[in-house]
Amino acid sequence: MTSSSYRPPATRSASRRILGVSVAIIVALIVAFFIFASLYTEFLWFDQLKLSNVLTTQWIATVTMFVAGFLAMALPIFLCIQLAYRLRPVYVKLSSQLDRYQEVIEPLRRLAMWGMPVFFGIFAGFAAAGNWKTVWLWANGVSTKTLDPQFHLDTGFYLFAMPFYSMLLAFISAVLLLCLLITALVSYLYGSVRIGQRELRISKPARIQLAILAGIYLAVQAVSLWLDRYLTLVQPEGRIIGAGYTGVNATIPGQGILAIIAAVVAVLFLITAVIGRWRFPLAATALFVVASLVVGMGYPWVVTTFQVKPNENNYQAQYYERNIAATKAAFGVDKMKVTPFKATTDTAAGQLRADADTTASVRIMDPAVIPPTVRQLEQYRSYYQFSPEMDVDRYTIDGKSQDTVVSVRDLDMSKLGAGDTWNNRVAVYTHGYGLVAMAGNERTSDGNPVFLEQGIPTSGVLTDTEHFEPRVYFGETSPEYSIVGAPKGTKPVEIDYPRGQDDKDKDTTTTFTGNGGPRIGNTFTKLLYALKFQSEQILFSNLVNSDSQILYDREPITRVQKVAPYLTLDHDPYPSVVDGRIVWIVDGYTTSSTYPYSQTVNMQNAIADSTTPASAVAFDNVNYIRNSVKATVDAYDGSVKLYAWDAQDPILQAWEKIYPSTIRPISEMSGDLMSHVRYPTDLFKVQRNILGTYHIDDAGSFAQEDNRWQTPPDPQNKDALQPPYYLSMKMPGQDSPRFSMFSTYIPADGQGESRQVLMGYLAVDSDAGAKKGVKSKDYGTLRMLELNTSTPVPGPGQVQNIFDSNASVAEKLNVLTIGKSQVLYGNLLTLPVGGGLLYVQPVFVQSSEGAKLPTLRKVLVAFGDQVAFEDTLTEALDALFGGDSGAAGGDQGVTPDPGEGSTPPDQGSATPPVASDAVTQALSDAKDALNARETALKAGDLEEFAVQDKKLTAAIEKLLTLEDQSSQK
């Protein structure tokens, strides 16, 4: 035999393994770097805002909860598997089937022993991480000083502790149940548990392990059943949330009994672990199941069926009162001021003299109608745009408050056309410019808005301040990201605003000088952001320099939501000029679904109306809400400030402990900012939804449902509710007009066909005052006018129908549509003036082809059953109230120019046409029907009113048909 140094080459399979491992490592490193890029750039975004503690708190909480959840699941399962395996009987005769199972399982035993705990642990870790907010709120919860009416516990227990205990018990139950099942499986596979010949044999170690697990599981169920007693206060029972008669007298005692039985069964299982007798715990378990059916289900059913339902109003009265009181407190409507209101429907000269300030402030410029006109007058370039529905604000001008319609001139990147390149999108078209503001109560002679702030460069009463900053880098339609900033002396490349057509340079340029985003001057940071935005140009472009910043996540709602993830945000941020800068004001809410005895509403459904579409997926059920935070986002540098608007809110107090130093006290709000704060729209919508049922105080009315109200449909969109409107007005009991928001109520009808008469008028004082850090004492005061039903007042839908069917109005509308014109109705406003309720609706005309520019042509007004339709609000009021209303609108003194669709002037040469017999008869029919309809309305006979209304409509249609036939001859 000879020796040799020759060694065979590595096998192909070994090479493949090395290659596979290398590729896997490379892929893992690439994935890890992408994850790092995402996390680090997110940190840079928060760090630039000096709010990095918000992100690190979330990261620490998430990781902590993941590790805790992983260990809490994985360790018990691992321990159970190890014990069941190690304590298996060594000498035991197994069936041939179990022998085959073991032969299959044995090669994978080690993998299964480690893999199963890891597998379930990962799932548990993610589940726990997703619930970190619940744990942190429990750890930082505060007392509310309010006790629930059943157990007399502080409501803070329900807001903070109970959700945590429920989550914890559910998690422990899941862990124990898995441990029990896995222990039984392992014990069976390795002979500790044997089934055969009608006999079940369990080894002593397996018996001890299984009995202890079962005992602990049942002990946890006992605690869970005891906690369920408190959960009855936040769960539905019949028509209310919270325990009613059945809950208090059957369900809660029954759960207490079941908790005791479960605890006894748990003790019996622990005893079995010692003495080895299964008979007692199994019998007790059967008793527990039977008791669950009898005490937990049967007895409550008997009480409900044979006691409560036959005498429901009497038995439930006490609990209805609890529900009413808790709901009003939880939704902040418990201090509403209710005024019985007997509205007059008659008109007389001088009737509005005492309300002249209110009528002068009536907004005739509809923010949902005029945007096309504003775009035509103020857009200047195709790459600018305005909001499709503008916002309502107010400014003090010459010492007087002025309601305004406002919108920023933001970018529209979809209109760049051939200029839509990476350079232009990212470094050239970086910001919008300026804000336009129009007087809400005024119009020009040709029906256009009266601008208080306009133009490029911007000018007007709002920017008449030193160092005003008009640039909008952070808006609702800003680009996904922009790269801005450059060293001094570098030629600017950002388009600032366009010049006139005759100027040599068509555009001015600028360079961002603020601190609005992370700096990306070095190669490493550029690489990270190139990965984040999937854009290699960031890495190689010469436009990225040592002083460059990258601006992203620029929408105001997005920025506030990221720095305050615990808030539910109002859907409508609005821009204001505050202390010389354009800022976005965003309202934030703290909410809960566990306030005891408070009724639950779905927030998305509650805020849905003709301006806010309903959500396809509704999951945000709440029964407590507070407007706890006012946030601002600077339109130039994107800085976010959070102010504690309701410092007494317990949920906000808990979050302030979790995120310290992120929320500023209200004392830091400037007087100028205070003057632009308004009562939030979404909160008001939720409150009006609740008040449709809970405007009453007594349980009897609640039980009988004899006074339920609902928000009326929008007269222009019958499939959606009418939105609330902002308006400066004086409610009965107030000494001067205040900036307010209002909505109306009509009777509720479960069949969806409610009577269109007013039942209530809800308004809220939306003016916070103008004193630094001090809210006006009347801000947020809800005022309800409860209308006396003896004098029916038409609702918005009925008034719109009156407008549409009035012969005089129809004739004038027909004139407005002469040629290629179409009529647009503006918002139908309702004002409590003249001892009754006045309706005002602006009427716009626009071309039906080409550029559609709505211009205000007429104003419709109604009071009781009287209607007027004139060129201006002032003229319409005078026509409505005997020739002199005693008040005037903001359009007083305006002489409208005859525009498209206006009545043509008399030429003096043509002979007026003589009406035919058919026309005369149709006019007579219309007059008779109109008189009969008005008589029916005064008498409150709505059926007769509807009959005469149909006759009136038929007569008008006949007149229109005769007119068309005449024009064709």
> Using H for helix, E for strand and C for coil, what is the string for 511-530?
CCCCCCCCECCCHHHHHHHH
Distance CA(766)–CA(359), nearest Å, equals 18
Distance CA(193)–CA(211), nearest Å, equals 13
Distance CA(727)–CA(344), nearest Å, equals 22
Distance CA(863)–CA(363), nearest Å, equals 17
- Tell me which DSSP letter residue 224 carries: H
Residue 379 CB partners (closer than 8 Å, separation 6+) = 385, 386, 409
Distance CA(682)–CA(606), nearest Å, equals 8
Query: What are the two backbone dihedrals, phi and then psi, of residue 330, each rounded to the nearest 5 degrees?
Result: -70, -30
Distance CA(533)–CA(38), nearest Å, equals 10
Burial of 851 per CB tally in 10 Å (0-12, 13-18, 19+): exposed
Distance CA(200)–CA(188), nearest Å, equals 11
Distance CA(956)–CA(933), nearest Å, equals 14
Cβ atoms 942, 948 nearer than 8 A:
no
SS3 content of the chain, % helix, strand, coil (to 5): 45, 20, 35
Distance CA(76)–CA(183), nearest Å, equals 11
Residue 811 CB partners (closer than 8 Å, separation 6+) = none
- Tell me which DSSP letter residue 669 carries: S
Vertex 732 angle, CA 789 and 710, to 5°:
45
Distance CA(650)–CA(141), nearest Å, equals 8
Structural tokens at position 643: 């102010």
- Would you state the pLDDT for residue 905? 38
- Tell me which DSSP letter residue 413 carries: G
Burial of 198 per CB tally in 10 Å (0-12, 13-18, 19+): exposed
Per-residue pLDDT tens for 133-180?
999 999 999 999 999 999 999 999 999 999 999 999 999 999 999 999
Distance CA(622)–CA(48), nearest Å, equals 34
Longest dimension (CA), the chain: 138
- AA letter at 835: G
- Tell me which DSSP letter residue 390 carries: -
What H or E segment, with its residue span, contains residue 68?
helix 52-86
SS3 at position 680: coil
Distance CA(83)–CA(687), nearest Å, equals 58
Vertex 884 angle, CA 403 and 760, to 5°:
55
- Would you state the pLDDT for residue 904? 41
Residue 696 CB partners (closer than 8 Å, separation 6+) = 324, 702, 707
Q: Where are the alpha helices (DSSP H) in 647-779?
A: 650-658, 671-674, 681-694, 699-704
Residue 920 CB partners (closer than 8 Å, separation 6+) = none
Start-to-end CA span in the chain (Å): 127
Per-residue pLDDT tens for 540-595?
998 899 899 999 999 999 999 999 999 999 999 999 999 999 999 999 999 999 99
State which residues of the chain have pLDDT below 50.
Answer: 1, 503, 900-915, 967, 969
- Would you state the pLDDT for residue 236? 95
Predicted TM-score (pTM) of the model is 0.88
- Tell me which DSSP letter residue 969 carries: -
Cβ atoms 154, 594 nearer than 8 A:
no
Distance CA(882)–CA(68), nearest Å, equals 78
